[in-house]
Amino acid sequence: MIVTIDGVAASGKSSVASGVARALGVPFVSSGLLYRAATLLALEAGLSLEGAPALLAHLEANPLRLEPLAGGNRVWLGGRDLTDDLHSSRVDAGVSAVARLPPVREWVNAQLRLLPDPFVAEGRDMGTNVFPHADAKFYLTASPRVRAERRARERLEDVPAIEAALVERDRRDAGQSAPAPDARIIDTSALSLEGVIGAVLAGLPARTA
Ligand SMILES: Nc1ncnc2c1ncn2[C@@H]1O[C@H](COP(=O)(O)OP(=O)(O)O)[C@@H](O)[C@H]1O
Ligand SMILES: Nc1ccn([C@H]2C[C@H](O)[C@@H](COP(=O)(O)OP(=O)(O)O)O2)c(=O)n1
């Protein structure tokens, strides 16, 4: 059983995927962490974020591993846990350029497709490109201001600056962020986290829930 939860930046994908996965007793998979980790490695190595061949060679020489733990996904580079470094403004600003590179997308998708079913996968193209055969698909949205206010509770930046960065990232990610035609779209602006998790669980086919 595969459930996909896609959506725009800071719409609640990872929190909702975590809650749904916990309710179902399955792991969840945060695909964005692999794009973030690839970006961090490129920045640390001083590579251009637009140079696919050099970046891919660097990723192949420095294999990353996504650990889909129920309490929160982690990304490892050998014995180094990168997870806590993946949500910086520097990675946020660079990740869309890296995620636009087709060889990087293939590299991420190949890792995701190796994961053993069942799981809940969240990202941008889980229901369209990576797991088109998923049993249930959801797409989360929320107004830019609400998303920025939520992020501001996690970071020491002001709401207008976060909102501007989110809108810019949505624009850059638009090419790979369209909802699947068969996804259920949930506007989370006026919902609590528990409310969104409940809406997803209520939308699962009977054999899945
Ligand atoms: N419906 C909601 N109501 C209130 N806060 C939420 C809701 N959904 C998510 N959040 C909070 O917003 C922040 C961003 O959510 P997150 O799951 O990291 O989003 P994404 O994975 O889409 O970037 C988190 O602090 C999360 O707890
Ligand atoms: N399946 C995915 C997941 C993420 N991405 C890209 C687009 C996003 O800007 C970055 C980071 O995604 P992530 O879901 O971790 O972060 P946000 O929710 O957008 O804050 O990676 C993607 O292109 N495809």
ipTM score: 0.97
Ligand 1: which residue has its CA nearest to atom 15?
12
Ligand nearest to the CA of 141: 1
User: What is the whole-number distance in angstroms between the Cα of residue 1 and the centre of ligand 2?
Assistant: 23
Residue among 4, 40, 95 to mutate when testing ligand 2 (max atoms within 8 A of CB): 95
- If one residue of 20, 28, 150, 197 were mutated to test the ligand 1 pocket, choosing by the most ligand atoms within 8 A of its CB, it would be 150
Give me 192's structure tokens.
């609590």
* In-domain check, residue 105: yes
What pLDDT shows up at residue 28?
Answer: 96
* CA 149/CA 171 separation, integer angstroms: 19
**DSSP symbols for 2-62:** EEEEEESTTSSHHHHHHHHHHHHT--EEETHHHHHHHHHHHHHHT--TT-HHHHHHHHHHS
In a domain, 13, yes or no: yes
- Write the Ramachandran bin of 78: left for phi over 0, alpha for psi from -120 to 50, otherwise beta: left
Q: What is the pLDDT of residues 94-133, one digit of tens each?
A: 999 999 999 999 999 999 999 999 999 999 999 999 999 9
Residue 165 inside a domain? The answer is yes
- Residue 99 phi, psi dihedral angles, 5° rounding: -70, -15
Q: Is 188 in the pocket of ligand 1 (CB under 6 A)?
A: yes
User: What is the Å distance from ligand 2's center to 123 Cα?
Assistant: 6
137's enclosing H/E stretch is strand 136-141
Cα separation, 104 vs 36, in Å, equals: 11
What gap in Å lies between CA 124 and CA 177, rounded to an integer? Answer: 5
Cα 32 to middle of ligand 2, angstroms: 4
Q: Per the domain annotation, does 97 fall within a domain?
A: yes
Residue 209 pLDDT grade (very low, low, confident, very high; cuts 50, 70, 90): low
Q: Which residues line ligand 2 (CB under 6 A)?
A: 9-10, 13, 31-33, 35-36, 95-96, 99, 123-126, 169, 173, 176
Query: Is there a domain that residue 209 lies in?
Result: no
Q: Is residue 54 part of a domain?
A: yes
What pLDDT is stored for residue 159 in this prediction?
96
Question: Which residue's alpha carbon is at the smallest distance from atom 14 of ligand 2?
Answer: 32
pLDDT in tens, 43-94: 999 999 999 999 999 999 999 999 998 888 999 999 999 999 999 989 999 9
Look at residue 208 and tell me if it is in a domain: no
Which ligand 1 atom sits closest to the C-alpha of 196? 1
**DSSP tag of 179:** P
Give residue-wise pLDDT tens across range 125-181: 999 999 999 999 999 999 999 999 999 998 888 999 999 999 999 999 999 999 999
For residue 125, the domain's CATH number is 3.40.50.300
- Contact between residue 16 and residue 5 where contact means Cβ atoms under 8 Å apart: yes
Our count of domains for the chain comes to 1
Per the document, the length of the chain is 209
Q: 93 lies in which domain range?
A: 2-202
* C-alpha to C-alpha distance for 182 and 171, rounded to whole angstroms: 23
- The reply to whether 207 falls in a domain is no
